[in-house]
Amino acid sequence: MPHPMLKSTAACAALAATLLTAGCGSPGEDVRVTLCKDIVAVHTGGPVTVYTAEAKAQGYQHAAVRVRYNSGGSDGEAVCYYDYNAVDDTAQTLADPLSAYSTSPSRVTFDGRPLNRAQLADAIKRAMTKQGRELVDRAKSAVQHVTGQ
């Protein structure tokens, strides 16, 4: 039987690993892409199949994340626009151009129709709540796996 201190240390390590990967929708996926996909999921209100999700920087204007999806048997397209948010070009922004843009969209369209400000705020809030719940669930699972419960 493992010593209780070992179980506690292992649980803390598992929790730390979970927290370090918290913002990742999938490894290598930009947070703006993950958030846009989650906005699609909460806005459509049902199961969503994402066909493609691609981000494109538009210079000093904005970055656009285009998500093509199917929900309820209907295909759709959402575009999340992120404002340019950098003061200077840095090694970081040169290596990762999307890092120069805000991490929260300033505008979202579904099939060309923009969400109004209240709808946008609600969609962002619900998407981030969804991400928080997923993080808590992953942390619980990691702790239960390590502690054998």
What is the per-residue pLDDT across 16-34, written as a single tens digit (0 to 9) for each? 554 444 444 566 899 999 9
Whole-model pTM over 0.75: yes
Mean pLDDT of 36-45: 96
Give the integer Cα–Cα distance in Å for 5 and 12. 11
6, pLDDT greater than 60: no
Q: 49-58: which pairs have CB atoms within 8 A and are 24 or more residues apart? A: 51/75, 55/30, 55/98, 57/97, 57/98, 57/100, 57/101
Q: Which residues contact 24 (CB under 8 A, 6 or more apart)?
A: 34
Tokens (6 digits) for 55: 């981000």
Residue type, 8: S
